[in-house]
Amino acid sequence: VVVGLIDVPKLSRTYFAVKGKGAFVRERSLGQDRKIHVSGKADLKQALLSTGFSSYDEPALEKQLQIFSQLLRETRGIRRAGSAAYDLCMVAEGVFDAYWEKNLSSWDTAAGSLLVREAGGKVTNYCGDDFSVDMNSILASNGSLHAQLTSVLSSAN
């Protein structure tokens, strides 16, 4: 992925990234672009995470709920925005410190994975392998929390 764009009409925002050039948000009400960066949090207890749930695969849902339960106790909190693309924007902008989910499609993750990387974050699958859009799982983080989260996610994989 060399270019990614995610439009959020309700918020009048467009997130975009070009490989090697950084990640940005255009706030239409302000008429300007702003460079975005992932958060700097390194303490999992202070981290705000985001995830989603697949309703199509019962065994995967059970595993996701186990992970959710564990991370809920180990973090500041977990949110569910309902859109993988938007969740990835929030990681890139530093609002969420990490996002994880399984069973997504390439259109859910392609642009957002580039945004997170260009904003200084890290994107892998649950096992820590460099992410590509044909993978079954995604973990996007600020980078500082990645090893801790990979440990939790890979053990439940």
Residue 122 within any structural domain of the chain: yes
Residue 124 within any structural domain of the chain: yes
Q: Calculate mean pLDDT across residues 148-157.
A: 89
Residue 146 within any structural domain of the chain: yes
Residue 58 within any structural domain of the chain: yes
Q: What is the residue range of 102's domain?
A: 39-156
Tokens in use for 54? 């697949």
Residue 20 within any structural domain of the chain: no
- Tally of structural domains, the chain: 1
pLDDT tens-digit readout, 103-152: 999 999 999 999 999 999 999 999 999 999 999 899 999 999 999 999 99
Cβ(100)–Cβ(128) under 8 Å?
no
Residue 141 within any structural domain of the chain: yes
For residues 29 and 4, which has the higher predicted lDDT (pLDDT)? Answer: 4
CATH number for the domain that contains residue 112 = 3.40.190.80
Residue 138 within any structural domain of the chain: yes
Residue 48 within any structural domain of the chain: yes
Q: What is the pLDDT of residue 157?
A: 66
Q: What is the pLDDT of residue 31?
A: 87
2: number of Cβ within 10 Å: 9
pTM strictly above 0.85: yes
Q: In the sheet where 77-79 sits, what is the strand order?
A: 77-79, 48-51, 98-102, 137-141, 122-124
pLDDT tens-digit readout, 26-69: 998 888 999 999 999 999 999 999 999 876 778 878 888 999 99
Q: What is the pLDDT of residue 64?
A: 87
